[in-house]
Structure 1
Amino acid sequence: MTPAADAANFLDEEQSLIDHITIQITQVYTRLQSQGRVARLTYLYQLLSETNRVIAHSQNQQALLTELQQVLLNLGGFAKIVIALKADDQADSPLVIQFHHNVSANILPTLQTVLQQEQNPPLNHVKNTGPDVDVYSYALVNAPDAHISPEYRAWRHYLKQEQVHQAALTPLLFNGHFWGLIGLYTTGRVEFDQEQIQLLQNLSRDISSALERFSAEQQRKTAESYSQQMEQRFQQVFLQSPVPMHIISIQDERILAVNLAYEKWLGYRLEDFQNQDAWLKKVAPSAEQRQLMQQNWEEALQLAKKGNPVQFPEITLLAKDGSQRIAQRTMSIVGNDVILVWNDLTAIRETEQALQDSEQRFRIMVEHTVVGVYVLRDNRYIYVNPSYANMLGWSAAALIGHDILEFADATIDILALIHQEQDQATEYLGMPPIVAFRHQNGQIREFALHARCITWDDGRPATIVMALDITEQKQAQDQITRQLEQLEATMYGTLQAVSIMVELRDPYTAGHERRVGLIASAIAKEMGWDEKRCLQMEEIGLVHDIGKISIPSEILTKPTRLTHLEMEMMKGHAQAGYEILKNVPFNIPIAEIIGQHHERMDGTGYPNGLKGEEIHPEARILAVADVIESMATHRPYRAALGIDVALCEVLKGRGTIYDTEVCDAAVRLIKEKGYVLPS
């Protein structure tokens, strides 16, 4: 028999009992639902009331959240509670869990991830709530959307395991934008009705309003603190500024403050004057000056009220110590006060005056100097002093504006010389260029020129040239040069005559002194000596054996080797040469050089056994030249040994008895450069 058939066979008494039980169950369920709803409403009213109490007593956001958490814990109406807020007020700031109740620590990282996601319906709805605060409530009995994230799926699974059946997410707003949420989770099956949602909306509005109030209060305090800091900074900047300043009230013209730089500048302190009028009497004793300054003040005040700083004309103030200060002030209006900033021009004006005085003195000096001075631009005279005009025989007016080439010798590139002098002026102090100019009378005059680039009075570049007439000086110098050349020729002829006189006593070595001089001169040139010094070596060579005059002719012309005694007598010729020439005035120590030409680097020479640097460089060259010439030519007691033997002797004594540099130069000269000994 089917159940339907059994049901149809219920007795009337049975059916009546079943209906009664059904009614009783329905009534109990309804009563329980009603009790749950009343309990939740009671909880929410208490929560709203306690929240408003906390809001009334809290002074800041942190205190509010701390008290709110305590209220939620004390009321205990929900199985689980989560409060999450943004880290800051930026739109893209992440949500951070600030409070949670009865949520397992293992699921918190997952929940934190869920809070950052946008695709899950509950959070997406709450995050995009409008200003009316859309509370999102839902039951967990329904299957989740297939498009939710794995983390949100895990969170829902956790809630189901915890027997959570209903949830309500209440958004918190800040300045009308989503800022956080309160999540309430219950194990009861009573759904959130409209009245409960309305209470949650009121709760959200109260908390959001409090947060905005706290923010506004914090901004006010921050603004006040910033204002105080700025005021303190202004005071410090004002007081410590190196620029003199003082502040005046527009209303009654009282001087409100002066800074330290002002006190140091004029010597006055704030207590030295009550108002603008008292200040004027101290810094401007003249009534006329005070009247002008007051007039300027009133005019500037009207302009400054339009919002732009106003600069006053320069004035002269009287300092407390009686000194005068030239200054310029700038006026700015801030609120009801005037700030005057002073620019002390005293040093600048004194410097300018000193420059003007210096320029005047310089101009007077240039105008009266005996040196000719002129200034060129584009090769034309733009200034000439009287001395230069006199040097050319023209007036200054006749020269100004004319090309310099009109007065210069056409055969000389004067402009190139001037430019060369400009370029080399900073490199070395050499001889100035000498340029020929044509005097008005047709005479050619020679000027020594010194040129420099300058900035002229008009601020443009120019060339200043100092000219010195050296015509007579150059003529005298040319005459001296000719006389010197003649004197040198005479001295050379005299030395040749002395050399011939020595050779007459020793005809077998005729020409030896001349040849030694030529060889010594060639070695000196190879060593890099200048031409004049090389010529001196040739002259020294002519008389290096002058001491042989004191040696008996029998010894000089002896055809065999000399005895020991005769050799000692022969060695005396070096000292004898020194004695002969020591009192003759030469421009070089020729007597000492001749006396040393048989000295050796190691001290084995004669007559004094000198060593190394004790021997004159010219004597070292003479020693090598003497050996080369003596060995390479005939002697009364032997035939010529040849140049190769002579060089071997030089190399053998290199660095010991002969100077290394001289030996190297001699060998290089003969072996590498093919020098041929003079005949």
Structure 2
Amino acid sequence: MKLYEMYYFAFNKSLEPMLFADLNTGRIFDVNQAFLDLLGYAKDEVMVKTAFELGLLPGEDSQPLSIKTKNGSLKSGMVSANDLVHKEKMMRLMVFQEQTENDHFSLEEMLTQTISLISKISEFRDPYTSGHQKRTQKLACAIASEMKLSGEAIHHLSMAAAIHDVGKIYISTDILNKPGMLTQLEYQMLQTHVDVGYEIIKDFKLPWQIPKIISQHHERLDGSGYPKGLTASQIFLESKILAVADVVDAMNSHRPYRPALGIEAALEEICHYKGEKYDSEVVEHCMRLFINKDFDFSFSG
């Protein structure tokens, strides 16, 4: 499945107005229902127009602009644009967020929307992965806060954690949902999700820390991790935090091949390998969250 196809997978289900257009000619390849509702057009009316006629096709970035509706009025907002290659053709995906009277958009808000879209792709493919990513995100950010990382670092970690397993969209469901233990070959195939996730994320206009965090979240201090077998000093701190949060939630959650092992087993695991596979400071702060601060994975609201 190509990057374009993964976008398209979530395209028609999204509540965000989205449109695919040719980068050079402005020819519209497809538009989702949310965009049609915004513009007031029927789909066949839009498909004979170009993105230029609608006031679209900005540079590959997030920026404010106004688009023309069928009745001639303008809708102001922010467009996040990403260039994708499909069948050797370059096209641009545009996601539009309308600006209401009291809205003030920022680049960070548009980045958050992009992360949300990628997360939805994972959710459509594998609901388990989505729930795991959200819980891991909550724990990773709590650990980072305990360690007093900067607000910017926690924000980058939060975005990375929210989509850290997106590469599993390439993995066969026969492997993801296998009720028994994986064979060595199947496990090797599963491990490719890290590199695949990195390849997906690096094509987005996101802070460089995000793909780096994702690419290292299965590395271990002693070099026993994957995909590169990095050791302690080579691993990004945020990746060390994500690694611990990832393991704790995975062990505490049901898997197709086993029931949930429980939080006690998860904490025993990270304590046993503290300083060997997992960063000691990260483990200590994680333990403190559960033992002294009654951390739990539930979400309010």
Residue 622 (str. 1) matches residue 249 (str. 2): no
Contact 1:518 1:678 in 2 (8 A): no
One-letter code of the match for 1:633? Answer: S
| Cα distance change, pair 678–530 in 1 and its aligned pair in 2 (3 A) | farther
Provide the C-alpha distance between the structure 1 equivalents of 2:189 and 2:216, rounded to a whole number of angstroms. Answer: 17
| Residue 585 (structure 1) aligns with | 205
Residue 656 (str. 1) matches residue 269 (str. 2): no
After TM superposition, list the pairs within 5 Å mapping 1:267-346 onto structure 2: none
Return the offset for 1:623.
0.4
Secondary structure of 1:629's partner? helix
Return the offset for 1:506.
2.0
Provide the C-alpha distance between the structure 2 equivalents of 1:614 and 1:661, rounded to a whole number of angstroms. Answer: 16
| Residue 232 (structure 1) aligns with | none
Give the aligned length. 197
Q: TM-score, normalized by length of structure 1?
A: 0.28
| Residue 483 (structure 1) aligns with | 105
| Residue 251 (structure 2) aligns with | 631
Superimposed CA distance per residue, residues 589-641 of structure 1 (whole angstroms, 9 cap, x where no aligned partner): 21121111000001010000000110011110110000001011111111111
Superimposed CA distance per residue, residues 14-72 of structure 1 (whole angstroms, 9 cap, x where no aligned partner): xxxxxxxxxxxxxxxxxxxxxxxxxxxxxxxxxxxxxxxxxxxxxxxxxxxxxxxxxxx
Provide the C-alpha distance between the structure 1 equivalents of 2:121 and 2:204, rounded to a whole number of angstroms. Answer: 18
Contact 2:221 2:232 in 1 (8 A): yes
Return the offset for 1:659.
0.6
| Residue 104 (structure 1) aligns with | none
Provide the C-alpha distance between the structure 2 equivalents of 1:531 and 1:509, rounded to a whole number of angstroms. Answer: 26
Report % sequence identity. Answer: 43
| Residue 190 (structure 2) aligns with | 570
Provide the C-alpha distance between the structure 2 equivalents of 1:555 and 1:574, rounded to a whole number of angstroms. Answer: 15
Return the offset for 1:497.
2.4
After TM superposition, list the pairs within 5 Å mapping 1:37-116 onto structure 2: none
Superimposed CA distance per residue, residues 541-560 of structure 1 (whole angstroms, 9 cap, x where no aligned partner): 11101111221122112222
Residue 558 (str. 1) matches residue 178 (str. 2): yes
Provide the C-alpha distance between the structure 2 equivalents of 1:651 and 1:488, rounded to a whole number of angstroms. Answer: 36
Contact 2:219 2:226 in 1 (8 A): yes
Of 641, 648, 652, the match for 2:261: 641
Provide the C-alpha distance between the structure 2 equivalents of 1:494 and 1:618, rounded to a whole number of angstroms. Answer: 20
Provide the C-alpha distance between the structure 2 equivalents of 1:599 and 1:619, rounded to a whole number of angstroms. Answer: 8
Provide the C-alpha distance between the structure 2 equivalents of 1:532 and 1:521, rounded to a whole number of angstroms. Answer: 11
Of 561, 581, 594, the match for 2:214: 594
Provide the C-alpha distance between the structure 2 equivalents of 1:675 and 1:611, rounded to a whole number of angstroms. Answer: 29
| Cα distance change, pair 651–625 in 1 and its aligned pair in 2 (3 A) | same
Provide the C-alpha distance between the structure 2 equivalents of 1:500 and 1:640, rounded to a whole number of angstroms. Answer: 24
Contact 1:597 1:622 in 2 (8 A): yes
Provide the C-alpha distance between the structure 2 equivalents of 1:588 and 1:582, rounded to a whole number of angstroms. Answer: 8
Of 112, 118, 141, the match for 1:498: 118
Return the offset for 1:488.
2.1
Contact 1:514 1:538 in 2 (8 A): no
Provide the C-alpha distance between the structure 2 equivalents of 1:538 and 1:608, rounded to a whole number of angstroms. Answer: 23
Contact 1:509 1:635 in 2 (8 A): no
One-letter code of the match for 2:226? Answer: Y
One-letter code of the match for 2:185? Answer: L
Q: Once superposed, what is the RMSD of the aligned Cα atoms?
A: 1.7
Return the offset for 1:490.
2.8
Provide the C-alpha distance between the structure 1 equivalents of 2:158 and 2:249, rounded to a whole number of angstroms. Answer: 14
Superimposed CA distance per residue, residues 215-253 of structure 1 (whole angstroms, 9 cap, x where no aligned partner): xxxxxxxxxxxxxxxxxxxxxxxxxxxxxxxxxxxxxxx
Return the offset for 1:672.
1.2
Return the offset for 1:576.
1.0
Provide the C-alpha distance between the structure 2 equivalents of 1:589 and 1:662, rounded to a whole number of angstroms. Answer: 19
Provide the C-alpha distance between the structure 2 equivalents of 1:508 and 1:675, rounded to a whole number of angstroms. Answer: 21
Ranked by relative contact order (alpha carbons within 8 Å, sequence separation 6 or more), the top structure is 2
Unmatched 5+ residue regions in structure 1? 1-480
Contact 2:156 2:209 in 1 (8 A): no
Contact 1:632 1:642 in 2 (8 A): yes
Higher helix share: 1
Residue 543 (str. 1) matches residue 158 (str. 2): no
| Residue 673 (structure 1) aligns with | 293
Provide the C-alpha distance between the structure 1 equivalents of 2:237 and 2:264, rounded to a whole number of angstroms. Answer: 24
| Residue 466 (structure 1) aligns with | none
Contact 2:157 2:210 in 1 (8 A): no
One-letter code of the match for 1:663? Answer: V
Contact 2:137 2:162 in 1 (8 A): yes
Provide the C-alpha distance between the structure 2 equivalents of 1:604 and 1:614, rounded to a whole number of angstroms. Answer: 13
Provide the C-alpha distance between the structure 1 equivalents of 2:152 and 2:241, rounded to a whole number of angstroms. Answer: 16
Of 600, 603, 614, the match for 2:223: 603
Provide the C-alpha distance between the structure 1 equivalents of 2:120 and 2:206, rounded to a whole number of angstroms. Answer: 20
Contact 2:136 2:246 in 1 (8 A): yes
Provide the C-alpha distance between the structure 2 equivalents of 1:678 and 1:532, rounded to a whole number of angstroms. Answer: 24
Secondary structure of 1:544's partner? coil
Superimposed CA distance per residue, residues 402-456 of structure 1 (whole angstroms, 9 cap, x where no aligned partner): xxxxxxxxxxxxxxxxxxxxxxxxxxxxxxxxxxxxxxxxxxxxxxxxxxxxxxx
After TM superposition, list the pairs within 5 Å mapping 1:516-535 onto structure 2: 516-535=136-155
Contact 1:602 1:656 in 2 (8 A): yes
Provide the C-alpha distance between the structure 2 equivalents of 1:596 and 1:654, rounded to a whole number of angstroms. Answer: 18
Contact 2:290 2:296 in 1 (8 A): yes
Unmatched 5+ residue regions in structure 2? 1-102
Contact 1:508 1:557 in 2 (8 A): no
One-letter code of the match for 1:483? Answer: F
Provide the C-alpha distance between the structure 2 equivalents of 1:556 and 1:497, rounded to a whole number of angstroms. Answer: 22
One-letter code of the match for 1:500? Answer: K
| Residue 340 (structure 1) aligns with | none
Return the offset for 1:665.
0.7
